[in-house]
Chain A
Amino acid sequence: MTFEMPDFLLALPEIWVLSMACLVLVVDLFARGRESALAFHLVQFTLLAAAWLSIETQWGVTATTFSGTYVADKFACLLKVAICLLTFLVFAYSRDYLRKRDLLSGDFFLLGLLGVLGMMIMASAHSLLTVYLGLELVELCLFAMVAYDRENRVGSEAAMKYFVLAALSSGMLLYGMSMVYGAAQSLDLAQIAAIAANGESGLLLAFGLTFILVGVAFKFGAVPFHMWIPDVYQGALTPVTVYVGTAPKIAAVALFVRLLVDGLGALHDQWQVMATIIAVGSLAVGNLFALVQTNIKRMLGYSTIAHVGFLFLGFIAGTEEGYSAALFYAITYGLMAAGAFGVVILLSRRGFEADLIEDMKGLNDRHSGFAVVMLILMFSLTGVPGTVGFYAKWLVLKAVIDVNMVWLAVVAVIFAVIGAFYYLRVVRMVYFDRRSDGEPLEASTGLRIVLAGNGLAVLVLGIFPDSLIMACKVALAG
């Protein structure tokens, strides 16, 4: 076995993020004062630079390095850009919130940044080992972030549940991987794909596949592996909830595509039915449970489950269009969810979390501009034409209809109609319900600008979705 010098330059985005994380760690240690402003700005800069570096070094190339465990291609590049930018947005929301609660410290952003590193590794994984490495890095950061507010019992409980269940699911994932390794005699995804394609040792491979699917579904929070979602969404601090609810979904798409499409794509017929069960279950459970929630974070948690069901339709279709539609769905969903939680952050203040749906009452009277933002976001989550959410739904539905699974599209649309209820209820609260105490909003200017920009982005993408759709298509085309 000869040792080959890896092409470090290819992995420059990850290397950059890692080095910066180390730097921030040190800087934060010495510049604790002034609310860790330096750490925050460094982290935000790191994210933007990482997005830029990804485009610069990885768009348009397809190459592996580190003995074939790391791949740089358009798919990885697009995912990294989306992850970095969404996280940038999430951090922009977070700072104000944390400062008001005296929770602001560099640790939060550092953990988030390391999580981003994990997600980026997942996006570029080309070996079962790299996949698992990235995944665990993300999850460890997430556990810590969910438990970030030590004084909060609900948060600690949620973190505990999340930890145990994630460990369970990781165990299943690892078990599945070991079987796949047993069948393929390799950790390299390309070789696994070759073995899967020639059809030998199918039983073992397919058995492993089932366990892997369970692990992946858990990361998505798809039914029946979704139980952690509501508790974590509700229990964690709102900025953590936004973090959990946005970029990791995109990373989960990476996980799915790398493992089940790049690796085990030949077994699509086997996992298609399982994915269908998971999708329909997610649509049903997500939408029905969301109906009866009173806590908006919990409601958005269930709504995530429903959206994952929709996203799965793209995988089920098993075509390039389907995968790109799922990717588009994940990215745009991240944007919408960030905005929705952003409004929750906007309304909250110290000692008041604004996490009940009722707290949305009379938003229009308090600030009509943000009422419009909430309106756009809710319409987009519903899938009203003219918003980006419509295109997301339309693309995945088209993908399943193209492979003659009309019934699935019909089921999805029926559940989407049911789902419209709880989004529109929020709109009703915002516009038609009065509240007695019309206190002015406390949020800082920065937060307001970011939120307005987020709403605008959803609107603009709803009007001109073409470029992002094209980018997703190109990314999946290879």
Chain B
Amino acid sequence: MEIVYLAITLAPLIGAATVGLFGRRLGRQRSHRVTIAAVSLSCLLSLFVLSRFAWGELEPYNETVYTWAVAGGLHMEIGFLIDPLSALMMAVVTFVSLMVHIYTIGYMHDDAGYQRFFSYINLFTFAMLMLVMANNFLQLFFGWEAVGLVSYLLIGFWFTRESAVFASLKAFLVNRIGDIGFLLGIALLLAYFGSLDYQQVFAAAQAQPAQMITVLPGLNWSVITFACILLFVGAMGKSAQIPLHVWLPDSMEGPTPISALIHAATMVTAGIFMVARMSPLFELSDTALSVVLIFGALTAFLMGLVGLVQNDIKRVIAYSTLSQLGYMFVALGASAYAVGIFHLMTHAFFKALLFLAAGAVIVALHHEQDMRKMGNLRRYLPITHLTMLMGTLALVAAPLFSGYYSKDLIIEAVHEAHRGGATLAYWLVLLSVYVTALYSFRLYFLVFWGKERIDPHAKEHMAHLPRYVLRAMEWPLILLAIPSVVIGYLTVEPLVFGDFFGQALFVAEPHDVLHEMGRSFHGSWSFALHAVAGPALYLALAGFLSAWFFYMVRPGLLPSIRDRFATLYTILARKYGFDELYIDGIAASSRSVARLLWQVGDARLIDGMMVNGTARTIGRFAAMIRGLQTGYLYHYAFVMILGLLVLLTWFIGDWRGWFV
């Protein structure tokens, strides 16, 4: 199987290198063929691996394929850990990636950077696969940084736009903060457990869970708690949780396929995957899990609220992504790792679908993203409209749709959990159901129903769009709509309540909420019917009705409501002031400190006095003494005689013992 795993990872890398280096010579069509072929190969092989695991025909694989360096006792290796968890992730990543590749043919059809784009997304697929297939922290970190790099490159893909450059830099810097935590966490594990290999670290941690570390003098923490929280800080950065979420909405500056692939379906879920992968560690620390739970719940609720006041179609979906990522962390924090991964998977499908559908709308309207300039589009874009509706229903957790299973299970799991913060988290995620339905249908109604507010130019553009463009975009939408609808119904039983994951996810006995829930689970169908008994369905319904009322029945009411709750509106429109705090507060003050250090410390003291000062002094001295070389022969001879005298003096002095 090793050759299969190598092929899965290397195919996109080779594709990326080929197109990246020779894209110009290959031309557009051959470039996208090469990259799509590479991803198709990865995808097919991943699905093959996944199916072998699903039928129980394959044993987990954990081997080193290449030793990069050995320093002391530290082995730096490239290795694969392929178990059901990574197999599932591989399948999701490569499938969504493939869809996005195809979609890109349409979306980027008139872009000058066509080949570059394909090279990047191929490279991204490689990096993401390295991340999920890693069997050690070093490779995990490599993948982690590599996806971050590609994300940076793609957010700033249109590098002539100032806003895109700003957004890419912001994403990079914010992720850096998370990465510091992540790296420190890895370093801490290495320092205390002496290895970078997952299995060795897990075994060592299980063996001595009670080690303490002095964080500050007088403040002792459990090593595992501390390490887990540091790792979670990394996850916060990558998966955009409060307070490191600020980069994700801005990342919408990148092309829409990227928003779908990287900033919704795959990369941003790396944090969730990582925590699930580290479940043997997190299970040892209730504190760390509580932290995960609370931050996840806060993000789920607060970011959903911000989504209500956005007018940019992509930003609404971006805030929705933040909120859904919060849900996933809530599941992890409640020790329901399987549900978290389950939601990750369903979300990958329906959120990629929503983004791609939004992208189709944007392309049709010639890169118009403001929902106030849309409306009534269901007449022009029927397929987009239908698939978007599927995605929306999945997102708001309508029964039988995939999102229903995953989200309802999260709510139930956190209800069952007995962890610090679980009650708060439960209420927050429950309220979020209403918020989710409200912003989702707001978007849906504003874009596809209501009065037509389209710009005439955009309308004309829509009429003249080449057919292949729409075709290339519609097929992926349909192919994503199918799993968005049915995947939950089909897989909830084996994934969540069955033993698909086996040893890949570890849950300690007293935390096993899924086991509790499994007792009352009697198949997907009855679980869907069960919805009428819980509050979530009614909240979602209320959200739908509110949206319908405010945007379809009485749109005139909105301004007055906005005026009445002006303060609240301002807070939401300002996104709680995180950006202002970071940019005007932290960034500005550190810049002024840096400027002070630069001007006084570096320029004046080090450069001015020490470096240049020394050089100047020596130079001046040299210029002073150069006059000694007069050019007169008798001076030269004199100096020689003088030298002889010095040596003779020393010699005689030494002889007579003057210097002793």
A residues neighboring B (CB under 8 Å):
160-161, 164-165, 168-169, 172, 203, 206-207, 210-211, 213-214, 217-218, 223-225, 227-228, 230-231, 270, 273-274, 277, 288-289, 291-292, 418, 421
Residues on A with C-beta less than 8 A from B615 are 421
Additional A-B contacts beyond A203-B655, A228-B636 (20; CB < 8 A): A161-B636, A164-B637, A165-B640, A210-B647, A211-B644, A213-B647, A214-B643, A214-B647, A218-B640, A225-B640, A225-B643, A227-B636, A231-B631, A273-B654, A277-B646, A288-B621, A289-B626, A291-B622, A292-B623, A292-B626
The answer, yes or no, to whether B642 is at the interface (CB within 8 Å) is yes
Given contacts A165-B633, A224-B639, A227-B636, contact A291 B619 (CB under 8 A): yes
Cβ-defined contact, B635 with A227, below 8 A? yes
Q: Which of B625-660 contact A (CB under 8 A)?
A: 625-626, 629, 631, 633, 635-637, 639-640, 642-644, 646-648, 650-651, 654-655
Interchain CA distance A288-B624 in the complex, whole Å: 10
The answer, yes or no, to whether B65 is at the interface (CB within 8 Å) is no
Q: What residue of chain B has the Cβ atom nearest to residue A164's Cβ?
A: B633
Given contacts A225-B640, A227-B635, A292-B626, contact A274 B618 (CB under 8 A): no
B625 to chain A minimum Cβ distance, whole angstroms, is: 7
Residues on A with C-beta less than 8 A from B647 are 210, 213-214, 274, 277
Interchain CA distance A169-B637 in the complex, whole Å: 9
Count of CB-CB pairs between chains A and B under 8 Å: 73
B137 to chain A minimum Cβ distance, whole angstroms, is: 34
Q: What residue of chain B has the Cβ atom nearest to residue A207's Cβ?
A: B651
Interchain CA distance A223-B636 in the complex, whole Å: 11
Interchain CA distance A421-B617 in the complex, whole Å: 14
Cβ-defined contact, A230 with B637, below 8 A? no
Q: What residue of chain B has the Cβ atom nearest to residue A230's Cβ?
A: B629
Residues on B with C-beta less than 8 A from A218 are 640
Cβ-defined contact, A169 with B640, below 8 A? yes
Residues on A with C-beta less than 8 A from B650 are 273-274, 277
Q: What are 23 A-B contacts defined by CB distance under 8 Å?
A: A161-B636, A164-B637, A165-B636, A165-B637, A168-B640, A218-B640, A223-B643, A224-B640, A224-B643, A225-B643, A228-B636, A270-B654, A273-B650, A274-B647, A274-B650, A274-B651, A277-B646, A277-B650, A288-B621, A289-B625, A289-B626, A291-B622, A418-B618
Cβ-defined contact, B618 with A291, below 8 A? yes
A202 to chain B minimum Cβ distance, whole angstroms, is: 9
Residues on B with C-beta less than 8 A from A274 are 647, 650-651
Interface size class of B (residues with CB under 8 A): 20 to 34
Interchain CA distance A421-B644 in the complex, whole Å: 31
Given contacts A218-B640, A227-B629, A421-B615, contact A210 B648 (CB under 8 A): yes
Cβ-defined contact, A210 with B651, below 8 A? yes
Interchain CA distance A58-B629 in the complex, whole Å: 43
Interchain CA distance A161-B622 in the complex, whole Å: 24
Residues on A with C-beta less than 8 A from B637 are 164-165, 168
Interchain CA distance A228-B636 in the complex, whole Å: 7
Interchain CA distance A164-B632 in the complex, whole Å: 12
Residues on A with C-beta less than 8 A from B648 are 210
Residues on B with C-beta less than 8 A from A203 are 655
Cβ-defined contact, A289 with B618, below 8 A? no
Interchain CA distance A214-B639 in the complex, whole Å: 12
Interchain CA distance A82-B615 in the complex, whole Å: 37
Given contacts A206-B655, A274-B647, A277-B646, contact A289 B633 (CB under 8 A): no
Q: Which of B563-611 contact A (CB under 8 A)?
A: none
> Which has the most chain B C-beta neighbours within 10 Å: A165, A224, A225, A228?
A224
Cβ-defined contact, A270 with B651, below 8 A? yes
Of A161, A172, A273, A291, the residue contacting B644 (CB under 8 A) is A172
B44 to chain A minimum Cβ distance, whole angstroms, is: 48
6 smallest beta-carbon distances between A and B, as pairs: A224-B643, A227-B636, A288-B622, A291-B622, A292-B622, A274-B647
Interchain CA distance A161-B647 in the complex, whole Å: 23
Q: What residue of chain B has the Cβ atom nearest to residue A288's Cβ?
A: B622
Residues on B with C-beta less than 8 A from A217 are 643
Interchain CA distance A270-B648 in the complex, whole Å: 11
A238 to chain B minimum Cβ distance, whole angstroms, is: 20
Interchain CA distance A169-B648 in the complex, whole Å: 15
Residues on A with C-beta less than 8 A from B644 are 172, 210-211, 214
Contact flags B155-177 to A (C-beta < 8 A → 1, else 0): 00000000000000000000000
B636 to chain A minimum Cβ distance, whole angstroms, is: 4
B293 to chain A minimum Cβ distance, whole angstroms, is: 54
Cβ-defined contact, B643 with A289, below 8 A? no
B652 to chain A minimum Cβ distance, whole angstroms, is: 9
Interchain CA distance A278-B454 in the complex, whole Å: 90
Interchain CA distance A19-B29 in the complex, whole Å: 78
Cβ-defined contact, B654 with A224, below 8 A? no
Residues on A with C-beta less than 8 A from B640 are 165, 168-169, 214, 218, 224-225, 227
Q: What residue of chain B has the Cβ atom nearest to residue A225's Cβ?
A: B640
Q: What residue of chain B has the Cβ atom nearest to residue A222's Cβ?
A: B643
